[in-house]
Chains A and B, each alone.
Chain A
Amino acid sequence: MPLVTMTVNGTAVSAEVEARTLLAEFLRNDLEMTGTHVGCDTTQCGCCTVHLDGVGVKSCTVLAVACQGAQVLTIEGLATGDALHPMQAAFREHHGLQCGFCTPGMIMSALDMVRRKGHDLDERLVRHELEGNICRCTGYHNIVKAIQAGASAMKGA
């Protein structure tokens, strides 16, 4: 089996994987980092969103072997000790989750949104940019508020 080496949340990791192993499976099964969720497995729900070399991707639609040498950031890599990342804190503050299943993907996607669109995000833009993330509790209203607040809070961070 191919050997793949990458950096996940700042730590170098290495494993032998089947070529067909998805990045999401590698994170969850090989690294036992289960913060990255798989909701649909058909590239629609966005629960599996991580950052690959700084860019938001759906990790259920990326081969682990294709990430050789890459930098991967997952939800587990955001907090500093007990201190939540400002976007995580905003989701808590604004009740941006109900069951919480979509939340890791929502937060990673929100951070990609900030990277592409900056810190001042109006509601319409956030809703449009969230197209790739599905919340089956349909709690979008507070998710949108959380993302706007989190993006704003990151300005000072």
Chain B
Amino acid sequence: MYDFQYLRPATVDEASRVLATQPDARPMSGGMSLLPATKQRLSHWSAIVDLGGVAGLDEIRMEHGALVIGARARHVSVLSSSVVRAAIPALAELAEGIGDPLVRNRGTIGGSVANADPAADYPAALLGLGATVVTNHREIAADDLFTGLFETALEAGEIITAVRFPVPKRAAYAKYRHPASRYAVVGAFVAETAEGVRVAVTGAASHVFRVPAFETALSKSLSQDALVGVTPAYGDLNADLFASSEYRAHVIGEMVRRAVQACLHPSTPSRNA
């Protein structure tokens, strides 16, 4: 790992000032993605700005009927939160499938979202639920946040402070996970919202995306039958050591089917544990 300057500001404003003036500085939350990538010298930073010293960003609460999760809430807090379980159980279940218990003890939702790993789980929930990302500067709809491979609409010095999730009628996440990394080979988040059904897919392309063909079909009828004969045209899907793009296209359909099944029968295990 290349050396860097370590900074631990006490406020978001202070962190933002450093990040806005140092283009090669990087904010760190739990560090569960940033540190492994930095250790492999995949990235090199002038400074790591540790947000661990910023108090008060880890609250989980209901606000005007929406679930608000502080950016520094750790995965273990989300999966064990009675507030999350009551409002959006699918989100707690998703958090329970991230990495392993030791990673979940440390990793945070804000860090995962800002990192925008193409195979991360949280982005699927944000896009699937139509969440809003709250930063120190503005609010960004999940539809506008994820722009590319590890790329987001976040600007220099912009720090996520919370994520606001509208509460769906029902939702589920199904993930075909890589057995070693626990990342999604393909993950599908299906949510029945007031505006219709949303389907978001992670792991399959450069960044998380929605599948309009499935959304239209499932908005008419949230059932497995509605999926029969629906064959979405995908853009460039990932092809790697683990799965070809043709295989991923097939697995998307299967994960959507499993997520629909889990929406209809919440006791059905949707993760391949």
A: which residues have CB within 8 A of B?
2, 18-20, 22, 41-44, 46, 49, 55-58, 61-63, 65-66, 68, 109, 112-113, 116, 128-129, 131-133
Contact = CB atoms under 8 A, between A and B. Distances in A.
Q: Which 10 A-B pairs have the closest CB atoms?
A: A132-B100, A19-B6, A131-B100, A132-B102, A20-B1, A20-B3, A65-B6, A61-B35, A43-B36, A55-B105
A66 B76 CA distance: 20
B148 to A, nearest CB: 24
A58 B30 CA distance: 12
A49 B106 CA distance: 12
Interface in B104-131: 105-106
Given A61-B31, A63-B35, A49 B102 contact: yes
Interface string B1-23: 11111101000000000000000
Given A57-B105, A58-B103, A132-B100, A63 B6 contact: yes
A72 to B, nearest CB: 14
Contact of A116 (B4, B31, B40, B101): B101
Q: How large is the interface on B (under 10, 10 to 19, 20 to 34, 35 or more residues)?
A: 20 to 34
B17 to A, nearest CB: 19
Chain B interface, DSSP helix/strand/loop, else mixed: loop
Most chain A beta carbons < 10 A, residue from B3, B76, B105:
B105
B90 to A, nearest CB: 19
Contacts of B85: none
A44 B39 CA distance: 13
Given A18-B3, A43-B36, A63-B35, A57 B106 contact: yes
Given A61-B31, A61-B32, A112 B102 contact: yes
12 contacts: A2-B6, A19-B5, A22-B1, A42-B39, A43-B36, A55-B105, A55-B106, A58-B102, A62-B31, A112-B105, A128-B273, A132-B101
A27 B180 CA distance: 27
Contacts of B253: none
B139 interface: no
Given A109-B102, A132-B99, 19 more contacts: A22-B39, A41-B39, A42-B39, A42-B40, A43-B35, A46-B100, A55-B106, A56-B101, A61-B36, A63-B31, A63-B35, A66-B31, A112-B101, A116-B76, A129-B101, A131-B101, A131-B182, A132-B100, A133-B100
A71 B76 CA distance: 20
B252 interface: no
A131 B246 CA distance: 29
Contacts of A128: 273
Contacts of A57: 102, 105-106
Most B Cβ at <10 Å: residue of A20, A68, A109: A20
A71 to B, nearest CB: 15
B24 to A, nearest CB: 14
B48 interface: yes
B52 interface: yes
A56 B102 contact: yes
A123 B8 CA distance: 41
Contacts of B102: 46, 49, 56-58, 109, 112, 132
